Amino acid sequence: MKLGRTCAFIINCAVRQIDSPVMAKAVADTELITLPVYDVDRRMQQYHSWSNFVLDSHRQ
């Protein structure tokens, strides 16, 4: 992942509330922002700019 990016696959799994097989390993100092799986859908509806960011990640 690059700075300012998100993994669309993981977001998709979170919205569908299914386990993701994706594993990640940081090779440099990293700041990670996590959300509870049960809250992803609500936040996507409430925060349209974040929802747009996530949806745009599908195209990149």
Per the structure, the complete domain to which residue 50 belongs is given by: 1-20+32-60
**Which residue in this structure is represented by tokens 């959300």?**
35
How far from 48 is each of 8, 53, 55, CA to CA, in Å? 16, 9, 10
Whether 55 is covered by a domain: the verdict is yes
Q: Is the pLDDT of residue 1 over 70?
A: no
Q: Specify the pLDDT at position 60.
A: 61
Whether 27 is covered by a domain: the verdict is no
Q: Specify the pLDDT at position 58.
A: 66
Q: How many domains does the chain have?
A: 1
The whole-model pTM stands at 0.57
